[in-house]
Amino acid sequence: MADNVQVNIDGKTLECPIIVGTEGDKAFDIGKLRSTTNFITMDPGFGNTGSCKSAITYLDGEKGVLRYRGIPIEQLAEKSTFVETSYLLIYGRLPNQKELEAFSDAFTEHSMIHEDMKNLFDAYPSTAHPMASLSAMVCSMSAYYPELIKENPTKEEIDRIAVQLLSKIRTICAFSHKKSIGEAFVYPRHDLRYVPNFLNMMFDSPTNPYKMTDEVVRAMQVLLILHADHEQNCSTSTVRLVGSSHANLYASISAGICALWGPLHGGANQAVIEMLEEIQANGGDVLKYIAKAKDKNDSFRLMGFGHRVYKNFDPRAKIIKKCADDLLNKLGIHDPLLDLAKRMEEAALKDEYFIARKLYPNVDFYSGIIYRAIGIPLNMFPVMFAIGRMPGWIAHWKEMIQDPTTKIGRPFQIYIGAPKTDYTPIEQR
């Protein structure tokens, strides 16, 4: 293969170096295009634009491949834990026993949030979406731990913020749930590991002690692992872009949480269940809603379907569908929404519109069924996604900030507004 791509515009020639990734992904570097030819490239939605080189996650949308640090997602979902997978993403390799224990212990040590932060929950109306309070709380952590806010944090300082964020997000999420249902906060326990501790803080109460089951803990582990990273998606790109201005990690992740909130991204898990409930309430006519999704004059979309990158299947959706089936069977739950979701998937996959556009269920199509079975309220679904995505955001922020070639993110535009116009004094308008 050639080393360069030649771009010829208006008699000017630019040699663009070719970059090839570990798995053969190819790009050419157009960094000097504007200074050489006065042209920029246009790619709204970044459907064809690489923003960085990254060694964290590999995905092949055509083949349905997803790997964290080279390890297939299927193996991690079956054998790993969320804490171990977080270590893998952030530090680039699997931990040994001692490292894993030290990492886990650090979560226990940092699980409490500053007592004063509890007042912030009181300031929020009970109607607030928990993603609003989560984003605000994560950004506010910068005020409570100012000693870690530095423009060029050391490796040790980054590690401390990472552990704090991973641990405290769990407590913040559980507290915001308790606040929304008007119950007293349940504090983190030192004898419980990451996922059991979270479930206990969410569901335990003095009048109704939480009965934890291995099946629920495992299902939650799987969901968190599957959400842990997904390379340059909307929220991760947001974290990188905000961080590229040297904004601190708390601020960058707070922005990522806001990006995740939208129904086209992490808010889709909530939107899927709302859609299924609506279809069920209106008689369960799957084909009617498929027709609505296809109708270009109707804004309705089949939530949980389609993906920018996956064009054959989303490997996470495959694992989650099986996980949902297994969990509901083990818990003896019959959820009519699961039947409806399966009928919907079957009908869509036979439909020419969905086939032609390569639209398949994504990670969020079945995840909500599992959250429902576990007892997580609907508006907390995107929050669960945020807990899962935390190690990915941290790993990307760290990779970006430690890369000496990183520049502040600053795209260009083509201006299409008014030409130069003189100011008119108000009395002459």
As measured in angstroms, the least distance from the Cβ of 59 to ligand ACO is 12
As measured in angstroms, the least distance from the Cβ of 319 to ligand ACO is 14
d(CA 30, CA 15): 9
Assess whether 129 carries a catalytic annotation: no
Helix (H) or strand (E) holding 58: strand 57-60
Given 107, 305, 360, 393, the residue binding ligand ACO (CB under 6 A): 305
As measured in angstroms, the least distance from the Cβ of 261 to ligand ACO is 11
Query: Which one, 139 or 359, has the nearer CB to ligand ACO?
Result: 359
Given 177, 178, 240, 307, the residue binding ligand ACO (CB under 6 A): 307
Binding segment (CB under 6 A) for ligand ACO, from list 150-158, 202-210, 359-367, 406-414: 359-367
Assess whether 364 carries a catalytic annotation: yes
Query: Which one, 212 or 347, has the nearer CB to ligand ACO?
Result: 347
Report the sign of the C-alpha dihedral through residues 29, 35, 38, 40, in that order.
Answer: positive
> Looking only at residues 239 through 278 of this chain, which bind ligand ACO when binding is defined by CB under 6 A?
264-266, 268
Kindly name the residue from 177, 230, 307, 396 that is annotated as catalytic.
307
> How is residue 104 written in tokens?
């886990």
First to last CA, the chain: 62
> How is residue 166 written in tokens?
């991973």
Residues facing residue 7 across a β-bridge:
14
* 190: Cβ contacts below 8 Å, ≥ 6 apart: 108
Instruction: Note whether 266 and 385 are within 8 A (CB).
Output: yes
Binding segment (CB under 6 A) for ligand ACO, from list 169-177, 183-191, 317-325, 361-369: 361-369
Given 243, 304, 382, 388, the residue binding ligand ACO (CB under 6 A): 304
Kindly name the residue from 230, 314, 364, 396 that is annotated as catalytic.
364
d(CA 46, CA 390): 23
3-state secondary structure of 7: strand
d(CA 180, CA 126): 5
**Does residue 303 touch ligand ACO according to CB under 6 A?**
yes
Q: Name the residues annotated as catalytic.
A: 307, 364
Residues that bind ligand ACO (CB under 6 A): 45, 264-266, 268, 293, 301-308, 357, 359, 362-364
